[in-house]
Each structure stands twice: as C-alpha cells, then as structure tokens.
Structure 1
Amino acid sequence: MTDDQQAATDGGTESEYVETLRENRAEKDDFFAEHPQSPIPPEKRDGFDGLAYFDPDPAYRVEATVTVLDDPEEIDFETSDGRTITYRRPFRFSFEIDGDSYELSGYRQEPTDPIFVPFRDKTTGQQSYKDGRYMELEPEETLSDGTTIEIDFNLAYSPFCAYSETFSCPLPPEENWLETTIPAGERKPPL
C-alpha cells in the first residue's frame, strides 16, 4: 500500500485525512527533490519546488462497485515512446460523481500486482498531465462481483514520463477516458 493510500485508510475524520494526505505529498516532494531514483533529471532538481496538486477534496473519494471479469481480456496499451505493453483487464469499477455514473477498468500484468487504473478526464492536457494520470488499488481482500472498493482520485498521480522522456509509460486506453472533470490528485507537472 502506498503512503497516500495508507493516508486514505488511516484518516478517521475528514480533517485527519486531509492532514495525512498533505504530509504524504510533502514526503513525495522530498523524494522527487533529493532521491537518486527521482524521475526528475538531476540537472532540474535544484529548481524543483514541489509537485502541484489540486486541493484535497473528500468528494473525490468514491465507493465503486466491482465487476470481476472471469476471463480477463488482454489489452495492448500504447506507450509514451511508441511501444506497446500488454495488460489483462480483470475488473470494472462503477461509481458516481456529482450524481452521474461512470466506469473505469482495472488492469494487471500479474495476478498479484496492484490494480492499475490509468485514466484521462477533462483536466487532461489542461490542468493535469497531457497523457493522463494513474491510480493503483491494493485491496486487502480478494475482490468479487458486487463488492465495493474505495477509489480516491486525490491519490491520482502523473506517470514518471511526465518528468523525463527516459521513461516509457502506458497511455490510458480510450475505455478509461472519463467525460467529466476530476479536479483531484496531481496537477500538471511544474517542470
């Protein structure tokens, strides 16, 4: 479970949740600024003042109903460097935002991997990274049809290729393009 995901589950009250989320964002900024494995090229780290985020908004923590696909289809993702990478699509998640219904697919390469949820929305290329954002879900128990899981868009992040072309990043498939605005999570990279 990532630190931000832990923040989502540990925060008992809304103010605790927001405070924990802000603390974890500060830790991520420190990692990006100083760690040798930061995606920010070393020559740009001196000018790095932290990632840009939408304000934490508990309204973008949604309960999603799970559909488990018994025979997960293989999906070829285009990547930022023109290659393709294959994932399986074992899950669909149905949820509501502002009274409207939406769906996102969840993908895995291996059955034990976190559930990869790449998406685009109406902030993509405007307020958020031009190629979309990612979320990872790590449920504590096996998902089954009709169960619910929390999807927290406040944890949406830009892929590493947003900071350096040396990374190859899967692009969200069209089935995960949301026809709504999700002003939550990371904003457009400040570089």
Structure 2
Amino acid sequence: MSIRRLLLLVCVGAAVSACGEEAASTNDYEQTVVQDRVQRDMRMREKESVVPPDRRDAFRGLNFYDVDPTYRYVVPLRRSSTPDTVMIAESTGGLRPQVRVGRVTVPLPAGEEELVVFRGESDNPRGRLWIPFADSTNEHATY
C-alpha cells in the first residue's frame, strides 16, 4: 500500500466528516470513488485538460489502484480559528488561491500524522476539501 493511495482515501474520508455527513457504507464509498475517477477521466478530454489536444482522443483513462476500504479513515477536522489563504501551484503551471481550513490526524501504521486540509478560495465553504501531499512515487508534486 503506497502512502499516495492511503492519503487519497484519507482526503475523501476527511471531506465527508468535515461536511457533517454520516459515514457512508463501504459500497457507497467505493461507488463514490469510482464515480469520481470516471469524472476525472472525462475532464482529461476537455479543453482545459493537461493532456495535449492531439492525444485526447487516444486517452484511455488514468491508472488507479483498486479501492481498498481498509485504508479509509473518517477523521474529525480541527478547523483553524483564523483560516488563511495560500497560493498553490496547479498541474497546468498556474497558481490558485486555496484556503487552509484546518488539520486532521491520521492513525497510520508507523504512527499518527497530521495533515493540512484545504478548499479552493472560490469554493463553497461546505464543499469539497482536499489534502495535498507527495510521496516517493512522484517526488516533486501532489497526487
């Protein structure tokens, strides 16, 4: 199990917990992850995609690990008392303002890790949250 896969699942769990929704069943969770992956693949064919225009028709989708609910964590979000905005680099080369909304603690096998949680500055405050990270499979970028 790579840390990359683990943290992606943490992000989904943190978003559900932070939005005040009850924890979904394992099947609902797996369906949500699969639907998100399909939507992401569809966006790769759009005008704003990072896939070069001449390669979009041949694009067959991103490679993902199978969903493993063992590594799903629903953890409480500790909201920042004074959220601040930072500029985070996008895969397209631009910068996008992101609001640092709080932190989560994840109980990893090697010990607990504290991760920073963001939302887009223009996003709905009760909408999707995300956790940027890098691991040894990508070294210099987020997932």
TM range (shorter): 0.5 to 0.7
Which moved further from structure 2: 71-80 or 97-106? 71-80
Q: State how far apart, in whole Å, the 1-side matches of 2:39 and 2:85 are.
A: 36
- The residue aligned with 1:121 is 135
**1:137-156 deviation digits (Å, cap 9, x = unpaired):** xxxxxxxxxxxxxxxxxxxx
Q: CA distance change for structure 1 residues 115 and 28 in 2, over 3 Å: closer, same or farther?
A: closer
Query: Given the alignment of the two structures, is residue 89 of structure 1 paired with residue 100 of structure 2, yes or no?
Result: yes
3-state DSSP of counterpart to 1:118: coil
- TM-score, with structure 2 as normaliser: 0.59
1:112 to 116, 120, 124: 124
C-alpha spacing 1:10/1:37, structure 2 compared with 1 (3 Å)? farther
CA distance 1:121–1:18, change in 2 (3 Å): same
Show the counterpart of 1:25.
Answer: 37
Count how many residue pairs are aligned between Structure 1 and Structure 2: 121
Decide whether the 8 Å contact of 2:102 with 2:118 is kept in 1: yes
* Structure 2 portions without partners, runs of 5+: 1-11, 17-21
Alignment of 1:164-179 (within 5 A): none
Q: 2:25 aligned with 1:12, yes or no?
A: yes
> Greater share of strand residues, 1 or 2?
1
1:112/1:44 CA distance change after superposition, 3 Å: same
Corresponding residue of 2:8: none
Q: CA RMSD in A?
A: 3.6
Q: Does residue 1:101 correspond to 2:112, yes or no?
A: yes
* Structure 1 residue 32 displacement after superposition: 4.3
Q: Distance in 2 between matches of 1:112 and 1:27?
A: 19
